[in-house]
Amino acid sequence: MKVIALKEGFFDGSRIRAGDEFDVPQGTKGSWITPVKEPKAADARDVKAKADAGAKGKNPDDLV
């Protein structure tokens, strides 16, 4: 599972800095790490739709 470090620490013989994302075995716990939130499938579709619209020049979020 992918986690993000909240502060510096060591894992598997490596120094991890705050903000680093890395993989750990499922079920690993620690006060200095938190799971990375994976985007939901619907979110991924929305991002792809906006990217496709932007590529065609139809992005409503584009102010230029």
* Residues 29, 21 contacting (CB under 8 angstroms): no
**What confidence tier does 18 reach under pLDDT thresholds 50, 70, 90?**
very high
Collapse the DSSP code of 32 into the 3-class scheme (helix H, G, I; strand E, B; otherwise coil) and give the result.
coil
pTM of the model: 0.57
The residue with tokens 């619209």 is 53
Q: What is the pLDDT of residues 36-51, one digit of tens each?
A: 987 665 566 666 666 6
pLDDT at residue 59 above 60?
A: no
Phi, psi of 45 (to 5 degrees): -65, -40
Whether 35 shows a pLDDT value over 80: the answer reads yes
User: What CA–CA distance (Å, rounded) separates 62 from 32?
Assistant: 39
Task: Select the more confidently predicted residue: 46 or 53.
Answer: 46
